[in-house]
Structure 1
Amino acid sequence: MSEPTLTAANVTDLRSAIELLKQHEGEYVETNEPVDPEAELSGVYRYVGAGGTTARPTKRGGPAMMFNNVKGFPAFRVAIGMLGSRKRVARLLGAEPEKLGFLLKDSVQHPIEPVLAEPGRAFCQEIVHRADEPGFDLRTLLPAPTNTPEDAGPYLTMGLCYAADPETGEHDVTIHRLCVQSKDELTMWLTPGRHIDAFRMKAEAAGKPLPISVSIGVDPAIYVAACFEPPTTPLGYDELKIAGALRGRPVELSQCLTINARAIAHAEIVIEGELLPNVRQREDQNTDTGKAMPEFPGYTGEAKDELPVIKVKAVTHRLNPILQTTMGPGEEHVNMAGIPTEASILQMVERAMPGKLLNVYAHNSGGGKLLAVMQFKKSAAVDEGRQRQAAILAFAAFPELKHVMLVDEDVDIFDTDDVLWAMQTRFQGDVDTISIPGVRCHPLDPSQTPAFSPSIPEVGTSCKTIFDCTVPFKLKHEFERSKFLEVDVNRFLPGFNGN
């Protein structure tokens, strides 16, 4: 393979991101074999690189994959797994994998406002399909996949929803579960507390639709930035400013053609529409499966009875478009949700106790949301107990977090074997387990029901738990790891890198 010529600084959209990955062995593959978007496409990628909480067997850290021949959709290709490994995210953002949380934290603190693209740079509008034209039908236009045979319908899983507060004009961008319901309708599931839902409710109270764009297939930096949540990014904070900081240049927007809204100018596909006031639809109305789609905890979510509806006004796209998708329980979700989680925790704890929290990993097993491993340094006897305070701050920084594992500075938080070693040798369940019952967590955790535990009063409430696997400061000298001789392995195995 030739010497790489592209770097993260060259990435401006999905296509340049793919070109960067092509330079690195094992990061990108493609196939011309015909694939059915109904369950088969995701079934293939399960083995190639899904990882995460996907049912085993699956492969962790596999390449991103392009399907060039999607049955029934000759004009489109489908890309999956672009952010499916932490190493790949680091390559696309120009950072070390272990430092991604710090990169995101710094980007929040140095935002760059998005700008309206200059004429001729709205690449997302090279081809225009208006919903009022004969033959317009989302179901035959876009190769939206189903992840399993039980899904409620075809889903757009990598759609960046962008809308403005109808009262203040402030913007928000978020990824939501969008199910194709008819030729011009999508249902949208908004988990409680999402900012676009706040905008929708304001518009609905006024009896008005909320203009909204859905951008699919963009610069990976935008996807990662869009996954920040409060309190790091409060209501009215446009996460596109973080993406601008990650790239050192503003995100370019285009004015939509049929609604008063903006979209990502370099997106592969843009859906223009309106969230309708006082209109609801059952998510599985076309299939009656009772299921929605696989979600990040590894289980298929239940279909919702009443969801808000986006009435589509137009679909625009680039020439030779690429629909980008993801598998709900895959490691791609871990990285998109988890790295902003790490940044939020680092920011919160650093403010309270500078220099004590060395790093955080939003662990793969929790889908980037439910479990954080925190590396804490005790420098003096007065630091004893502060590690637990840091864990409590983590719950405040990211309210959907369920469990925290605390470890010392000599533990590799990205190596699960090392973390579990700390638990086996530095943890006593009766004194090192701190439970905080009756707290709201994430609604997709299926154990958060009164049927699972009598301590849970209603669905969505959880017992948040801290597992303190750190050594008491006064005993640190008794828990020193064996010290091996430092040697230059390359003397014996030239080119050895340890991976």
Structure 2
Amino acid sequence: MSEIKIRDLRSALDKLRRMENELMETGVQVDPEAELSGVYRYVGAGGTVMRPTKKGPAVIFNNVKGHPDARVAIGVLASRERVAALLDSRPEDLGHLLRDSADHPIEPVLTEEKPACQEVIHYASEEDFDLYKLIPAPTNTPDDAGPYITLGMCYATHPDTGRSDVTIHRLCIQGKDELSIFFTPGARHIGAMAERAEALGQRLPISVSIGVDPAIEIASCFEPPTTPLGFDELSIAGALRGEAVKLTNCLTVKERAIANAEYVIEGEVLPGIRVREDQNRNTGYAMPEFPGYTGAASDQCWIIKVKAVTHRRNPIMQTCIGPSEEHVSMAGIPTEASIIGMIDKAMPGKLKNVYCASAGGGKYMAVLQIKKTVASDEGRQRQAALLAFSAFSELKHIFLVDEDVDCFDMNDVLWAMNTRFQGDVDIITIPGVRCHPLDPSNSPLCTPSCRDQGIACKVIFDCTVPFDQKERFIRSRFMELDPADWIPE
């Protein structure tokens, strides 16, 4: 069987079809209004979704109510093992793979071929143009502000520098030709572009590409300092694939889009206008976010005035559930890469691996696997944790473990905590530090040390063995052999 070359969503799904228990399809009609996500919660969402849930296969819904010509795929990246298969890697090597790709970027190119994303074209000037009918965007819960595009690759260009960037943002359909877009203050580059365009009294052209190569979705989640303003994360996706991502010119705005996307929304971010995210439903909520809570609706969302929607024939809408294992993959693996890059530069060879665990949604918690080889390494493990905090400000808790502990197995991490950790000496607290506003405990309502929403006490849990006591903490030594001779796989 020939190996599938993944360059778009369809080839990624084809690869998953050839793998056991990684993709399932259903022809039973599903309502995108809360029902679709409700089904996937039980099948494979995982992450911080309320129990019962589990890690499981991706799902394609082939019969979506109100959208006879479209399908919806969910959970494509909702397992670390699946991400590794789609990136031709091993689960434990993903952080190192992304770090290396960020260090050796391949810039995207403009294709001269007719792009697949423009096989079908709908202009906003047409009388029957309606985003609600064109885009099968799910409403994740009955509390949501509306239908959300959760995996839209937003692409825009800075009005001063001409440098472009790709980022995933919260996009809610607000009308027949309008989307709201939420910019986390100071956290996303396209937000800075929109603010500069507004200062100049200009609209910001933008494209939203939906249903793309998973390498693009993973790469788009890198953040500073690894990818500063002006760094196009599509170049990391190019490095992951060994060839440039192909872009195409939009038809109605001066911007580019991903040429083989399933859908492309073309539009402009309007200056001087802010809207309430739940203006149509008045629920008070936005959508489920990665910590496992449904976020409050913002009253400071910007508006994208849509000019056109283009798509492939029989398009596949790709979506995800905010608190699911899919978010852990997209946010956590680039975070691991950033931490590896930062610590390797400061203390080469001491950091073996990093895991941004599911319980932290890929953002709040990291496990650092440290190797101590000489007496002077004692204390460096805590320095590594401080470097990780500086590399990724949204981290709240860091667990430090020795190289004999599997950092990807939280039971093993907690074993290290229970047998190598003393709370009175191995907890290091750093109060009053900016963290993440979506954690409801990062609030003055919980402790006076949080002077503002989003300020937290960062904590290091040092579960490593002191170097001078390593002989006291040797794990039971079992015989190394191949069990296949006795118990075939």
TM-score by length of 2: 0.99
The match for 2:144 is 151
**CA deviation vs aligned residue, 1:123-154 (integer Å, no higher than 9, x gap):** 10000000011110101111110000000000
2:184 is equivalent to residue 191 of structure 1:
yes
| Conserved? CA contact 2:352–2:369, under 8 Å | yes
1:28 to 20, 23, 38: 23
* Equivalent residue number for residue 256 of structure 1: 250
The residue type equivalent to 2:2 in the other structure is T
Pick one of 397, 401, 406 that aligns with 1:403. Answer: 397
Match of 2:123 among 122, 130, 138: 130
**Which residue is 1:105 aligned to?**
99
Query: Which residue is equivalent to 2:454?
Result: 460
SS at match of 1:281: coil
Deviation of the 1:487 alpha carbon: 2.6
Distance (Å, rounded) in 2 between the aligned partners of 1:192 and 1:213: 21
| Corresponding residue number in structure 2 for 1:176 | 169
Structure 2 CA distance for aligned equivalents of residues 112 and 489 of structure 1: 43
Cα distance in 2 between the residues matched to 1:306 and 1:473: 52
Give yes or no for the alignment of 1:74 onto 2:71.
no
SS in 1 for 2:205: strand
Q: How does 1:216-227 map to 2 (within 5 A)?
A: 216-227=210-221
> Which residue of 2 is the match for residue 87 of structure 1?
81
Q: Structure 2 counterpart of 1:179, which letter?
A: C
Matching of residue 355 in structure 1 with residue 322 in structure 2? no
- Offset of residue 6 of structure 1: 2.5
Superposed, 1:360-375 pairs within 5 Å as 360-375=354-369
CA distance in 1, matches of 2:7, 2:3: 12
- Given residue 162 of structure 2, which amino acid in structure 1 is its aligned partner? G
Deviation, 1:38, is 0.3
In structure 1, distance between residues paired with 2:126 and 2:36? 30
- 1:162, 1:118 → 2: CA distance? 19
Which of 157, 160, 164 is the aligned partner of 1:164?
157
3-state SS in 1 of match to 2:404: coil
Match of 1:329 in 2: 323
Q: 1:93-130: per-residue Cα shift (whole Å, max 9, x none)?
A: 0000000000000001110010001232x110000000
Residue aligned with 1:279, SS: coil
Q: Is the 8 A contact 2:140 2:321 kept in 1?
A: yes
Aligned CA-pair RMSD: 0.7
Q: Tell me, what secondary structure is at the counterpart of 1:390?
A: helix
Give the aligned residue type for 2:277: E
Aligned-partner SS, 2:270: strand
Q: Over residues 400-435 of structure 1, what are the superposed CA-to-partner deviations in whole Å (9 max), with x where a residue is unaligned?
A: 111100000000011111000000011111110111
Name the CA distance, whole Å, in 1 between partners of 2:125 and 2:255. Answer: 19
Question: Which residue matches 2:272?
Answer: 278
> How many positions carry a matched residue from both structures?
488
Q: Is the 8 A contact 2:48 2:361 kept in 1?
A: yes
CA distance in 2, matches of 1:466, 1:369: 15
Unpaired runs of 5+ in structure 1? Answer: none
Cross-structure match for 1:450: 444
Q: For 2:394 and 2:51, how far apart are their aligned partners in 1? A: 25
Q: TM-score, normalised by structure 1?
A: 0.97
* 1:381 and 2:378 matched: no
In structure 2, list runs of 5 or more residues that go unmatched.
Answer: none
Residue in 2 that maps onto 1:42 = 37
Displacement of 1:354: 0.2
Are 1:343 and 2:337 counterparts?
A: yes
SS of aligned partner of 1:112:
coil
The whole-number CA distance in structure 1 between the counterparts of 2:410 and 2:90 is 19
The amino acid of 1:134's aligned partner reads: E
1:55 to 50, 55, 61: 50
How far apart, in 2, do the equivalents of 1:486 and 1:119 lie? 55
- Give the whole-Å Cα distance in 2 for the aligned partners of 1:48 and 1:330: 11
CA distance in 2, matches of 1:222, 1:292: 25
Structure 2 match to 1:393: 387
Corresponding position: 1:13 with 2:29: no
List structure 1 segments (4+ residues) > 6 angstroms apart after TM superposition: none
Identity fraction in percent:
66
Cα distance in 1 for partners of 2:109, 2:432 equals 44
Letter of the aligned partner of 2:50 in structure 1?
A
Match of 2:480 in 1: 486
User: In structure 2, how many angstroms separate the alpha carbons of the residues matched to 1:164 and 1:281?
Assistant: 23
Q: Distance in 1 between matches of 2:483 and 2:456?
A: 48
Distance in 2 between residues matched to 1:313 and 1:416, nearest whole Å? 47
- Per-residue CA deviation, residues 406-465 of structure 1 (Å, 9 max, x unaligned), is 000000011111000000011111110111111111111111110011211111111111
Look up the SS of the partner of 1:277 in the other structure: coil
| Equivalent residue runs for 1:202-221 within 5 Å | 202-221=196-215
